[in-house]
A = this chain, B = another copy of it.
Amino acid sequence: MSMLNGGLDHKLELHILELKLRVTNIKKDAIGSYTHALIKIALLPHSCPKFFSFTETKGGYTVIVEDNLYSELPKGESIDVADPIWRVLTVSAGALGSHKLTGISKIVKTVISPLADNNISVLIISTYQSDYVLVKDFDLQTAIKCLSCNFKIFMETPSGLESIEVSIGDRMEGMLKKNDISDHRPIKHPLTCLHNRFHISSVDMQMVQTLMPIILDFMFYSSSKPKLAEGYEIFFHLSIVEGDITLVLDNESLSRFPSGSLHTSNSDECWRMLRIGDSPLGFEECGIVAQVSEPIADADISTYYICTFLFDHQMIPEGEISHALEILDSLKVS
């Protein structure tokens, strides 16, 4: 039994947010047609998305928005949508205490592995403050059952103002529960380690106004930028979750922000990024996150994770990247 998984009285809290999300992908050359709507959703003075995630990769723009704001996005052949509604689970940060690991390494054993074991496909969005696990609305009840042995589970009421504890009937019925993963899962998708060095940073809401021209430039105008060198890839991520803003930027991009305008968790440390997959991963396959994050967490390495419409992205502290690659290489399906 994991250290985190003590007696009933000490169980951690897992919250199911009152959010219904859409996961979309905007094609690379169509961003101009979506700028007006995306600014309205996320960046105007009265915009207050409860959950907004925007990630540019070489494959397009993954935009995750609340279902009620999704209607603002023009429909057409320039936008792809992952069919179902997605729900959001998060382990309250305070509950995890002063765990030395950061990012999803903290929740691999208690959340990510159990969901993988029970064939629930997830999308992960790590932020500066917390990690969000998205599951299909269709899978929510199964996810609740399967996590109920590790957590007291709370569901936000529709007002979003309070949470009520979810009562679970026969909580273990039919659930797989592997407490000890002695053998790691084989890694099924190719991994590509980008040459860029990344920072995971946050901005406070007041500062974000001042940074708006730079942020707009990064979000919508990368096509005017010079081509990147071999081995480098474009990756820009902005998330806004209940007023908390996270930016994931490489060194080059960070240097364009005024010094001191962003908070970085550890300003001396860069993160390296592994792209998982080289053909689109889809939304059905389970266990992809678990394959690459279990062995990293077991080696006591922190890891952030950002899923996009096509590929997954795992971030690892630069000082640990060689060690991490060794571990992951040994698990690759040959």
Interface string of A278-304 (1 = CB under 8 A from B): 000000000000000000000000000
Residues of B within 8 A of A40 (CB): 221, 224
A7 close to B (CB within 8 Å): no
CA distance A64 to B214 in the complex (A): 24
Stretch binding the partner chain, chosen from A30-38, A169-177, A236-244, A311-319: A30-38
The smallest beta-carbon distance between A32 and chain B, in angstroms, is 4
Residues of chain A in range 214-238 having any CB-CB distance to chain B below 8 Å:
214, 216-217, 220-221, 224
**Contact for A209 among B32, B44, B213, B224, CB less than 8 A:** B213
**Contact for A43 among B74, B211, B216, CB less than 8 A:** B216
Q: Which residue of B lies closest to A34 (CB)?
A: B36
B36 to A220, Cβ gap below 8 A?
yes
A93 close to B (CB within 8 Å): no
CA distance A100 to B288 in the complex (A): 74
The smallest beta-carbon distance between A246 and chain B, in angstroms, is 18
B209 to A210, Cβ gap below 8 A?
yes
The smallest beta-carbon distance between A150 and chain B, in angstroms, is 41
Q: Which residue of B lies closest to A40 (CB)?
A: B221
CA distance A17 to B43 in the complex (A): 36
Residues of B within 8 A of A74 (CB): 32
A45 close to B (CB within 8 Å): yes
Residues of B within 8 A of A181 (CB): none
Residues of chain A in range 38-53 having any CB-CB distance to chain B below 8 Å:
39-40, 43-46
A212 close to B (CB within 8 Å): yes
**Contact for A45 among B31, B36, B43, B214, CB less than 8 A:** B214
A: residues with CB less than 8 A from B are 31-33, 35-37, 39-40, 43-46, 74, 209-214, 216-217, 220-221, 224, 256
Q: List 19 A-B contacts (CB under 8 A).
A: A33-B36, A35-B35, A35-B36, A35-B39, A36-B36, A36-B220, A39-B216, A39-B220, A40-B221, A43-B213, A43-B216, A44-B217, A45-B213, A46-B217, A209-B209, A209-B213, A210-B210, A212-B212, A212-B216
Instruction: Given contacts A33-B33, A35-B39, A36-B220, list 7 more A-B pairs with CB under 8 A.
Output: A31-B36, A32-B74, A39-B216, A43-B216, A45-B217, A212-B213, A212-B216
